[in-house]
Amino acid sequence: VNLERDLHSALKNDELVLHYQPQIDSQTGHVFGAEALIRWEHPKRGLIPPNQFIPIAEETGLIIPIGEWVLRMACMQAEEWNRKYDHPVHIAVNLSIKQFVNNDIVKTVERTLHETGLDPEILELELTESIFLENTESMISTLNKLQKLGVRISIDDFGTGYSSLSYLKDLPIDSIKIDQSFIRDLCENKKTASIISAIITLAKNLDLKSVAEGVETPEQFNYFKMEGCDLVQGYYFSRPLPANQIEALLDRTEWGA
Ligand code: G
Ligand code: G
Ligand code: MN
Ligand code: NA
């Protein structure tokens, strides 16, 4: 099976789907929103995770139409949820660096918000930390324009990008997502706990929201709650699920440890 060839037709054959993973407000236990995560339902190979086809999409340029599709589907879904529920349901969407630099991402986001009618404040764009290595004028300008639209920017995989911290003071960023690798050995490694505490404190002092992803156990949840990490996300609460299955969770108001 040639994945690259098949990916060309995946969009028009309706083989791509979004799953959603809830993000919980650690202090109130309410659902804050969800992260949209793409999956490919390959007709022969079954469900293919993004790690196996996003790199191909990036190399071939298919990430541009696929990324636009993801953004539109996620915004449509979020708009529907925000009409349906009487509390806001935020949506986080992952952007590839290719989408961010090659395409007119500002126009795409603006048009998508307009066409779906989604309140910009509901949308958060996740950019992986390695993007911030390129601390260029054009990147700063793009981020500023996105922020002017009213959407929020989040740094994904924080702590792994080997980038300098200086971008935190220069760029219009709203939140940081602590990389899963830190959470994984939280309970075994005292140093990891110190790093996590320091990141949460750094976020607080910079007025950024902190998010812990990959939370799998009640102990991990409790730790982040005690440390005052704003949002938690992970298998402990829910795996990423299709939209109709996650709806049962959106109304849930108590996630105790
Ligand atoms: O959902 P999963 O944990 O398998 O995702 C694996 C990786 O794929 C993560 O790094 C995630 O950010 C990335 N990913 C998931 N969905 C999207 C998407 O819609 N666009 C981009 N660019 N990356 C995505
Ligand atoms: O890089 P990004 O943060 O966008 O990717 C998130 C990825 O992490 C998704 O592929 C998602 O399926 C995965 N994920 C979410 N929660 C957990 C978890 O609790 N444990 C593990 N191992 N992976 C998780
Ligand atoms: Mn992400
Ligand atoms: Na991440």
Q: Could you tell me the distance, in angstroms and rounded to a whole number, from the CA of residue 205 to the centre of ligand 4?
A: 22
Which residues of the chain are modeled with pLDDT < 50?
A: none
Task: Report pLDDT for 200.
Answer: 97
**Residue 185's pLDDT is what?**
85
Buried residues in 119-142 as b, exposed as e (16+ CB within 10 A): bbebbbbbbbbebbeeeeeebeeb
**Number of domains, the chain:** 1
Please report the atom of ligand 2 found closest to the CA of residue 126. Answer: 4
Q: Please report whether residue 246 resides in a domain.
A: yes
Q: What gap in Å lies between CA 194 and CA 171, rounded to an integer?
A: 26
Q: Which protein residues are within 6 Å of ligand 1, measured from CB?
A: 37-38, 49-51, 54, 70, 94-96, 240
Is residue 46 situated within a structural domain?
yes
Q: Which amino acid residue places its CA nearest to atom 23 of ligand 1?
A: 94
Residue 119 falls within a domain, yes or no?
yes
Q: Is residue 149 part of a domain?
A: yes
pTM to 2 decimal places: 0.96
Q: pLDDT, tens digit, for every residue of 5-60?
A: 999 999 999 999 999 999 999 999 999 999 999 999 999 999 999 999 999 999 99
Predicted confidence at residue 24, as pLDDT, reads 96
State the Cα–Cα distance between residues 115 and 69, nearest whole angstrom. Answer: 13
DSSP summary character for residue 162: -
> Is residue 233 in some structural domain?
yes
Is the CB of 85 inside a 6 Å radius of any atom of ligand 2? no
Residue 156 falls within a domain, yes or no? yes
Domain assignment of residue 256, yes or no: no
CATH number at residue 106: 3.20.20.450
Substitution site in 99, 224, 235, 237 for ligand 2 pocket (most atoms within 8 Å of beta carbon)? 235
Please name which ligand lies nearest the alpha carbon of 37. Answer: 1
Mark 67-89 as b/e (b = at least 16 C-beta within 10 Å). Answer: bbebbbbbbbbbbebbeeeeeeb
Q: Which atom of ligand 2 is nearest to the CA of 21?
A: 15
Show the domain range for 220: 3-250
Q: Of the candidates 6, 75, 70, which has an alpha carbon nearest to the alpha carbon of residue 41?
A: 6
Pairing of β 31-42 and β 46-48: antiparallel
Which pLDDT belongs to residue 160? 86
The one-letter amino acid code at 114 reads H
257 found inside a domain: no
Which pLDDT score is estimated for 171?
86
